[in-house]
Amino acid sequence: MTQQLHPQKTKSKPVWRNRYTVALIPYFWLILFFLIPFLMVLKVSFSQTILAIPPYQPLLNFASEGILTITLNLNNYIRMVTDSFYATGFLASLTIALISTIFCLIFGYLIAYGISRASSHWRSVLLLLVILPFWTSFLVRVYAWIGILSKDGLLNNLLLYCGLISEPKQFLYNNIAVTIGVVYCYLPFMVLPIYSTLEKLDDVYLEAAYDLGCRPWQAFWRITVPLSKAGIWSGCALVFIPALGEFVIPELLGAPDNLMIGRIIWLEFFNNRDWPIASTVAVIMLMLFVVPIMIMQRRQLDRQETN
């Protein structure tokens, strides 16, 4: 009598479980460190300033009869529209962030294009030089520009030595100094995404363009730039969004009367202790600038995937 041996069946988890398990990790990170803090700031923006710790009135109040009341203060958002102080801050931040992003795009694209066209032996060295400033403290790098742009700094001494100026000029504490600081500090964020896109481009497209009669600059504008739009969009978003809410650079290099959004939030939080107004400014900045940029970038990526 023979006995048939059946191989033992091993239970394996469905593929969809593994996918959802991996996807839950970044979603958990975003919920914990982005969504929950944003909801806390949003809650404070609808409250009212009081002399207490923390200095804002709770939104939920329980009456003695067990009645729950919710009090929403909309005056903070109305103040953002009626008070020109905050409109000026939004406009100044938008202007400096936009100009800085344009300069970063020009210089960053040239640097990324040069690195992508260099030999494979030098690419790692050039990329190391781009990343090297990240090994130094952000605050130290901004302070270095104070030593360069001050009246007794390196730039004035160089111009005086060359005879281009007769007396030291004030290059510090203005919008130009802030723009220089932003471009210097955020330039690697523009270089790296553009380089990652240019490095993947196939030279066959350029060779085909040359065979069809395109000159080098025509092939650059018609082939290279359109195919690197993904890196351009990513680099612009990585530069524009943090530059919009920058605080350290305007505080150290900017004029005292030039209030960008980051400095306004700081003043409202720590000097005036008006947490609801500061939270309102942060929420409006996120809704007006960051969310549309994220939506545009997402649509751009979806369009490239469909193509």
The pLDDT tens digits of the residues spanning 167-199 come to 888 899 999 999 999 999 999 999 999 999 999
User: Do residues 261 and 34 make contact, with C-beta atoms less than 8 angstroms apart?
Assistant: no
* Residue 228 identity (one-letter amino acid): S
Q: Give the CA angle between residues 26, 196, 222 to the nearest 5°.
A: 125
**pLDDT at residue number 249:** 94
pTM for this prediction = 0.83
CA 67 – CA 7 distance, rounded (Å): 66
Q: Using an 8 Å Cβ cutoff, are 250 and 263 in contact? A: yes
Virtual CA dihedral for 226, 300, 38, 140, nearest 10 degrees?
-10
Say if residues 247 and 181 touch (Cβ distance below 8 Å): no
Q: Judge whether residue 50 has pLDDT over 80.
A: yes
**pLDDT value at residue 1:** 46
Residue type, 73: N
The pairing of strands 68-70 and 60-62 is antiparallel
| Helix pair 275-285, 84-117: axis angle to 10 deg | 40
Cα(187)–Cα(184) distance, integer angstroms: 6
Answer for the pair 145, 253: CB distance below 8 angstroms, yes or no.
yes
Which of 78-87, 91-100, 222-231 has the largest mean confidence? 91-100
Question: Residue 292: pLDDT band by 50, 70, 90 thresholds?
Answer: confident
Q: What is the mean pLDDT of residues 122-147?
A: 91
The more confidently predicted of residues 14 and 98 is 98
pLDDT, residue 49, reads: 87
User: Is the pLDDT assigned to residue 69 strictly greater than 90?
Assistant: no
Task: Give me the sign of the Cα torsion angle 240, 184, 179, 111.
Answer: negative
Name the nearest CA neighbour of 92 among 297, 273, 243, 212. Answer: 243
Q: Which single residue is written with the structure tokens 């000097």?
A: 271
Residue 59 above 60 pLDDT?
yes
Concatenating the DSSP letter of every residue in 32-73 gives: IIIIHHHHHHHHHHTS-B-SSSSSB--SEEE-TTS-EEE---
Distance CA 41, CA 282 (A): 8
Answer whether 286's CB lies under 8 Å from 245's CB: no
Say what the pLDDT of residue 252 is: 92
**Range with the lowest mean pLDDT among 12-26, 89-103, 222-236, 281-295?**
12-26
**pLDDT score for 305:** 66
Query: Could you tell me the pLDDT band of residue 8, with boundaries at 50, 70 and 90?
Result: low
Q: Classify 145 in phi/psi space as left (phi over 0), alpha (psi -120 to 50) or beta.
A: alpha
Please state, rounded to an integer, the average pLDDT across all residues of the chain.
Answer: 86
> What would the two tokens of residue 171 be?
């290059």
Where does 132-274 have alpha helices with state H?
138-149, 154-162, 175-198, 203-211, 216-219, 225-227, 229-244, 248-253, 261-266
Token pair in block for residue 286: 């996120």
